[in-house]
Amino acid sequence: MNIVGKDNIPNPPIDFILSHFDSSSGQFPCKMMTFRSNGQFTVNTKQEILKRCEQSDFKDCRINAYPETIVKEGMLIQAPNFVFVDLDLGNFDNDINKLNKVKNSTLRKMEQMHGSHPTLSWTGNGYHIYLPINVSVLDNEYVFSKDKFPKLFSLKGKYSQYFVSEAFMQYAEDFFTSGRADPNHRPKYKTCLIRIPDTFNSKCLNRGLSLEDSKVRILQKWDGKRIDGDAITHEFLIWLIRQEINLNNSSSNRSNPTKKNRTRYLGTGESHHQDKSSFRIEWIERLLQIPIDDQRKYCLWRIISPYLLNVKHISEAETAKTMEKWLYQCSHLKKLDFEPRIKIYGIIKGNKGFKPISYSKLKDENEELYLFLQKKNLENISK
């Protein structure tokens, strides 16, 4: 039985939704699914999408943001250029005010960082946010190679069955929402299904809501500007390195249970026991006195934060003050491209007890920064 009559047949904005998707192999063929389908099926034209919506009485019509062909000759060819944020009302105790607070902060973060104006839709059970970005195929870049993160992408790792680009999709959602997105929403290329606007959510209909209240509605339209994704891929790379370090530290502690009773301070090669607050790593102390115009984010999370928190054992509040003071000095050389308090807060809260990189290992991990510090004569006090 049809739930819509001849006078109120929906007119889904297929062209608008497809405009969000960008693929080197074209938009079609792609996958979609509906209330009447048994899983996903292939569609090849806009007309076929609309026909399938009609056959399903416009209920639960979803389309994949990525094309069916993502791999060619064994190589991933599809970039993770569509960020999908899912904010489910049920995860906020069905409190619309709590949900709106996170929705607003997510949109504000996108605006502040990238000047973006994404699509916002109401699904009947929460919000979807669609943010198209310009980004490369990460798996094909050396710095994102799975070989560099063997713990994360091993057969027993958290992302064993993922492309690196798919891990990025999930990271981006967590990043913009500060981890408040639906925990059950783990987008991948094959599962990135978005609800087509002006179709109906069957869960709402089953609760007895009207057609109008069950309709997927666009609340804000994307402005058509695909933002540069370099800033967030940089954040993602930092996150990957941090996760790999944490996994290595965890494995090391499990294999050597006495290790937790001593602290090794990277950069000196010395082991110490109790009184750690007076310990100094001179090259990092010197760095804190020198403003720099690049590599500020890297210095914060890889050097300064772990040094202050886990070597000097300074409180989070004092660590934040020291980092903010250093960034203020750096901003006189070159304006920051991020909001310092948000960045500092995220780095401190994400700290898992790892130590700063040693000066000798810095050369391999970040040669550009290493050479810069050499010019500043920090190598003479690296011990």
What CATH code is carried by the domain that includes residue 66? 3.90.920
Judge whether 301 lies within some domain.
yes
Which helix (H) or strand (E) is 159 found in, with range?
none
Domain range holding 102? Answer: 6-230
Residue of 322, 325, 330 whose CA lies nearest to 292:
330
The confidence score (pLDDT) of residue 230 equals: 85
How many structural domains are present in the chain?
A: 2
Within this chain, do residues 198 and 286 fall inside the same structural domain, yes or no?
no
The last residue of a domain, from among 210, 230, 250:
230
Within this chain, do residues 206 and 271 fall inside the same structural domain, yes or no?
no
What is the per-residue pLDDT across 242-268, written as a single tens digit (0 to 9) for each?
888 888 877 666 656 554 443 333 333
Burial of 357 (0-12, 13-18, 19+ CB in 10 A): buried
Within this chain, do residues 208 and 147 fall inside the same structural domain, yes or no?
yes
Judge whether 250 lies within some domain.
no
Judge whether 257 lies within some domain.
no
The last residue of a domain, from among 203, 230, 257:
230
And the tokens for 25?
A: 């192999």
Decide if 127 contacts 103 (C-beta within 8 A).
yes
Helices 340-349 & 316-331 angle (0-180, nearest 10): 140
Within this chain, do residues 293 and 374 fall inside the same structural domain, yes or no?
yes
Within this chain, do residues 190 and 48 fall inside the same structural domain, yes or no?
yes
Decide if 167 contacts 145 (C-beta within 8 A).
no
Judge whether 260 lies within some domain.
no
Neighbouring C-beta atoms of residue 377, cutoff 10 Å = 10
Taking residues 154-161, report their average pLDDT.
Answer: 86
Within this chain, do residues 112 and 23 fall inside the same structural domain, yes or no?
yes
The last residue of a domain, from among 230, 252, 276:
230
Residue 64 in this model has a pLDDT that exceeds 60: yes
The confidence score (pLDDT) of residue 51 equals: 96
Judge whether 158 lies within some domain.
yes
Burial of 93 (0-12, 13-18, 19+ CB in 10 A): exposed
Q: What are phi and psi of 43, to 5 degrees?
A: -125, 150
Judge whether 348 lies within some domain.
yes
Taking residues 276-300, report their average pLDDT.
Answer: 85
Decide if 196 contacts 17 (C-beta within 8 A).
yes
Judge whether 181 lies within some domain.
yes
Judge whether 359 lies within some domain.
yes
Q: Which of 343 and 169 is assigned the larger pLDDT?
A: 169
CA distance 62 to 15: 14
Within this chain, do residues 201 and 281 fall inside the same structural domain, yes or no?
no
Within this chain, do residues 177 and 279 fall inside the same structural domain, yes or no?
no
Within this chain, do residues 76 and 151 fall inside the same structural domain, yes or no?
yes
What is the per-residue pLDDT across 74-123, written as a single tens digit (0 to 9) for each?
899 999 999 999 999 999 999 999 999 999 999 998 887 667 899 999 99
Residue of 100, 103, 127, 131 whose CA lies nearest to 197:
127
Decide if 33 contacts 15 (C-beta within 8 A).
no
Within this chain, do residues 195 and 60 fall inside the same structural domain, yes or no?
yes
Mean confidence (pLDDT) of the chain? 86
CA distance 210 to 351: 48
Within this chain, do residues 316 and 189 fall inside the same structural domain, yes or no?
no
The confidence score (pLDDT) of residue 200 equals: 96
User: pTM (2 decimals)?
Assistant: 0.69
And the tokens for 158?
A: 């958290």
The confidence score (pLDDT) of residue 304 equals: 94
For residue 45, name the pLDDT band (cuts at 50, 70, 90): very high
* Residues with Cβ within 8 Å of residue 207, at least 6 apart in sequence: none
Taking residues 179-207, report their average pLDDT.
Answer: 93
For residue 270, name the pLDDT band (cuts at 50, 70, 90): very low
Within this chain, do residues 82 and 141 fall inside the same structural domain, yes or no?
yes
